[in-house]
Amino acid sequence: MISLPSAQLNLTNNSGLVEARYQLRLPDIAQSFNGLSLAQLIARVNLIYRQCPEAQSWAASSLALGDCSPELYRVREQALALEWLSEHSWQMWRLAHDWLGPDKARMQLLSRWRAELLSRKQALPDKRWLVNDGVQACSLAPLLDWQQQWRELVYQPLLEQSESDQLNGLFQPEFEAVARYETGSLVRVGGADGSFSARLTSLWDEAWLASAALCDSGVLPELNPVRGLVKAARGQLQHSGHWRNQASLKAGQQVSDYRIEIPTKSILQSLCHSLSGLEWSSLFANQLLLNQWLLSHSPCLEVNVQWSSEVTDSNTKLG
């Protein structure tokens, strides 16, 4: 039986200062990929992963076959850019919904936006993750005319609320320290620090950069995976495995020793580094703001926070 994934932050009061540790439980999904052919592997990846499926599929495909043709690369670039845009916009919308409260105009924006993104995804070739010399890049309609609505209903209200609640003053980790762990939008765009507004701005900037990449090649940083390493929406995603005979992949060669590393672990490590040493009483009194700051990290999993006055000995890292 496969256990459900979970992520937890354990915050303890150590002489008035916060000591942060994490627990991460992940099912060994990769084990079920052993013995599959490339086509079977891609099919199972698409079946299992609902978060970042395009990045997962590109990682698996690149591990087996390496570089692809310019046309196939362009289609995959469009698919990944669309995924970045979808994931980043959802994270910003969720922050606004949770923090600012339900809003009819914002609800309608999300509904219409999802329909727009779906129409573009449906225009992409279905078999873009397998070798297919007949794949052609799509001509997708731009989305920049949506930017002002997102600015007025989501982005600007969140920035103003963070200033009003002094959220940035509570959490100000240095960018260099954050970059030691994270590989997501904040690091790719290059933020000023690890504050809420910096994270929100990085999501915003990279989302519209991805929007432009739907129509123009080369807008995003070099994406072509190296040995299964892909720039997913939330950070670097790594697939690894072994085919005994690369030449026989089309004949159904099976993969073994399959492994997957998602960005969750590095995000949790960054969170622990940023929170450890903060004043306990201040953090405990601002739990609602802490939740918003955690969400601004765009974690792959819901992060459950446990408060305790007893200091534990070490991190528990499972999965």
Residues 189 and 168: beta-carbon distance below 8 Å:
no
The pLDDT of residue 158: 97
Q: What pLDDT band is residue 243 in, cutting at 50, 70 and 90?
A: confident
CA 271 – CA 153 distance, rounded (Å): 28
Give the chain's mean pLDDT. 88
**For the residues 32-36, what does the mean pLDDT come to?**
88
**Between residues 82 and 141, the one the model is more confident about:** 82
Question: What count of other Cβ atoms lies within 10 Å of the Cβ of residue 7?
Answer: 21
Least confident of 173-177, 245-249, 288-292, 311-315: 311-315
Q: Is the pLDDT of residue 63 over 70?
A: yes
The pLDDT of residue 317: 36
Residues 11 and 290: beta-carbon distance below 8 Å:
no
**Between residues 99 and 63, the one the model is more confident about:** 99
Q: What pLDDT band is residue 217 in, cutting at 50, 70 and 90?
A: confident
Beta strands in 224-286 (DSSP E): 229-232, 235-243, 255-261
Report yes or no on whether pTM surpasses 0.85: yes
Q: Find the helix packing angle between 70-100 and 156-164, rounded to 10°.
A: 40
Of the candidates 142, 126, 130, the residue with the CA atom closest to the CA atom of residue 81:
142
Structure tokens that stand for 275 in this block = 């929170």
Residues 189 and 197: beta-carbon distance below 8 Å:
no
Residues 26 and 18: beta-carbon distance below 8 Å:
no
The pLDDT of residue 318: 32
In the chain, alpha helices (H) = 38-48, 53-65, 70-100, 104-123, 147-150, 156-164, 167-170, 175-178, 185-189, 196-213, 264-275, 280-284, 287-295
The pLDDT of residue 315: 43
Q: What pLDDT band is residue 132 in, cutting at 50, 70 and 90?
A: low
Dmax (CA) for the chain in angstroms is 65
Q: Which of 27-31, 61-65, 121-125, 200-204 has the highest mean pLDDT?
A: 200-204
Of the candidates 242, 282, 299, the residue with the CA atom closest to the CA atom of residue 64:
242
Residues 10 and 308: beta-carbon distance below 8 Å:
yes
CA 228 – CA 207 distance, rounded (Å): 23
